[in-house]
Amino acid sequence: MRMVDIIQKKKDGNALTKEEINFFINGYTNGEIPDYQASSFTMAVCFNGMNAQETAWLTEAMAFSGDTVDLSVIEGKKVDKHSTGGVGDKTTLVITPIVAACGVPIAKLSGRGLGHTGGTVDKLESISGLKTAFTTDEFLNIVRKTGICVAGQSADIAPADKKLYALRDVTATVRSMPLIASSIMSKKIAAGSDAIVLDVKTGSGAFMSDLDDAVALAKEMVAIGENVGRTTVALVTNMNMPLGHAIGNSLEIIEAVEVLKGGGDDDLKQVCFALAANMLFVAGKGDMEYCEKLAENAVKSGEALKKLEEMVQAQGGDPACISNNELFPQAEYSYEIKAELSGWISFMDTVAIGEAAAVLGAGRSKKDDVIDHSAGIILKAKTGCYVEQGSVLAVLKTNRKESVNDAERRFLNALKFTDFQPEKEKLIFAHISSNETKYF
Ligand code: URA
């Protein structure tokens, strides 16, 4: 078998066999297939797609390309959560301590930023001393001791995805339904939880901008999970504007802590509580109404915040950061973007806003770029808000003074204004389980 023939076959729009998919994944994982062939292959998949059977084979090959985690040593039903990626999406930082505080063990492997989106591991690393790389034993011990660990994907777990994820990030091959589905589900299968809650984003800041495509992606991932015996449900949620008001690594930790302290923006809270309630539901904690109450009480009682502090401490971080924002790295420059006109914000190109944050240092444009944890954007107005000419739309935080003009131009170009109030958008569009797709 030759990789060049497999690339040609996919480029011609033909379906691959299980052997061909295994050949690619094994060869790429062990270094026999070079990056340039892998990127040509992923580009062919972006253009020509894969059918459900090819996607399932790709997922399986990636899930078993390295070690898998055996969570059976931890008592109780373990539940995982994964987002397809968005801008300002700090839900994992809010939800996992809530769910762990309700007694459901969280053994979660998270990713780094991808494309215009942020990643939980990059965000967590803004906490001084906090480690996200553990051996499997260390990881399991932290979960046993504190009921929660959010770690980075080690090189030994789904290594095929680890390599492909980094490659896709810099070869414009992220936006593809089979590549996203296999990337997410391979990690979730290898990570060993009993149940999985997926947050599939749709809108101008999501990899799937169209609602129908997002629902199709959600259904495909739910089917893959259920086929390998994991209870899997998905929420399709709105990414037509950044979630909450902070974009950038330490800024998002600070905002997540606000929610755990009982504050926070309504959009962020609504999505977080819906996801948390679904996690508690698939963990068997009770009916949905009861699970919603459990999640709310975990915040009201302060238990969820305490759980986050315990997690930070157990992962080697400084828990004082959680109560003192000044302990986070601070950007040298702060710059206000002002509205050029008065009017209603009717649209935000959320990808462009994510890219503006990356230009300031919050994201990567090359595989090896180093993240600036202090950089990012604090939004002062979002879609649906009325702004007066000259009022502050956002505050840019950066150590790269030379990037401010570029980021400001990207940000202003990303907004559209109208002279009438736009209709309020839904935050949650659909709930998908193995037997039902419910639209809201
Ligand atoms: N998140 C992932 O883990 N993989 C993707 O491909 C996209 C989002």
Q: Crossing angle, helix 91-101 and helix 249-260, to 10 degrees? A: 40
pLDDT band at 295 (very low <50, low <70, confident <90, very high): very high
Residues 97, 52 share a domain: no
Sheet strands (E) in 74-214: 79-83, 106-110, 148-152, 195-202
Judge whether residue 398 has pLDDT over 80. Answer: yes
Span 176-199, mean pLDDT? 94
In a domain, 74, yes or no: no
The rounded distance, in Å, linking the Cα atoms of 356 and 379 is 12
Name the average pLDDT for the chain: 95
Residues 19, 93 share a domain: no
Is the beta carbon of 111 within 6 A of some atom in ligand 1?
Answer: yes
- Contact between 348 and 382 under an 8 Å Cβ cutoff? The reply is yes
pLDDT band at 169 (very low <50, low <70, confident <90, very high): confident
Residues 364, 283 share a domain: no
The rounded distance, in Å, linking the Cα atoms of 355 and 175 is 15
Atom 1 in ligand 1: residue holding the nearest Cα: 84
In a domain, 72, yes or no: no
The predicted structure's pLDDT at residue 148 = 96
Residue with the two structure tokens 């051996």: 135
The CATH number for 122's domain is 3.40.1030.10
Is the beta carbon of 180 within 6 A of some atom in ligand 1?
Answer: yes
Atom 3 in ligand 1: residue holding the nearest Cα: 184
- 168 CA to middle of ligand 1, Å? 10
Residues 34, 170 share a domain: no
The predicted structure's pLDDT at residue 39 = 97
Residue in 230, 224, 146 with CA at minimum distance from that of residue 191: 230
Residues 407, 434 share a domain: no
The predicted structure's pLDDT at residue 370 = 86
In a domain, 141, yes or no: yes
For the chain, the helix, strand and coil percentages under 3-state DSSP, each to the nearest 5: 45, 15, 35
Domain count, the chain: 3
Residues 344, 213 share a domain: no
Residues 334, 280 share a domain: no
The predicted structure's pLDDT at residue 113 = 75
pLDDT tens digit string along 10-68? Answer: 999 999 999 999 999 999 999 999 999 999 999 999 999 999 999 999 999 999 999 99
Q: Which atom of ligand 1 lies nearest, measured to the CA of 180?
A: 6
Judge whether residue 258 has pLDDT over 90. Answer: yes
pLDDT band at 154 (very low <50, low <70, confident <90, very high): confident
Span 119-148, mean pLDDT? 94
CB count within 10 Å of CB 57 equals 21
Residues 260, 164 share a domain: yes
The rounded distance, in Å, linking the Cα atoms of 220 and 179 is 12
Query: In this structure, what are the phi and psi dihedrals at residue 66, rounded to the nearest 5 degrees?
Result: -155, -150
Q: Which residue has the higher pLDDT, 310 or 136?
A: 310
In a domain, 423, yes or no: no
Q: Which residue range forms the structural domain that includes residue 185?
A: 79-323+428-439
pLDDT band at 116 (very low <50, low <70, confident <90, very high): confident
pLDDT band at 117 (very low <50, low <70, confident <90, very high): confident
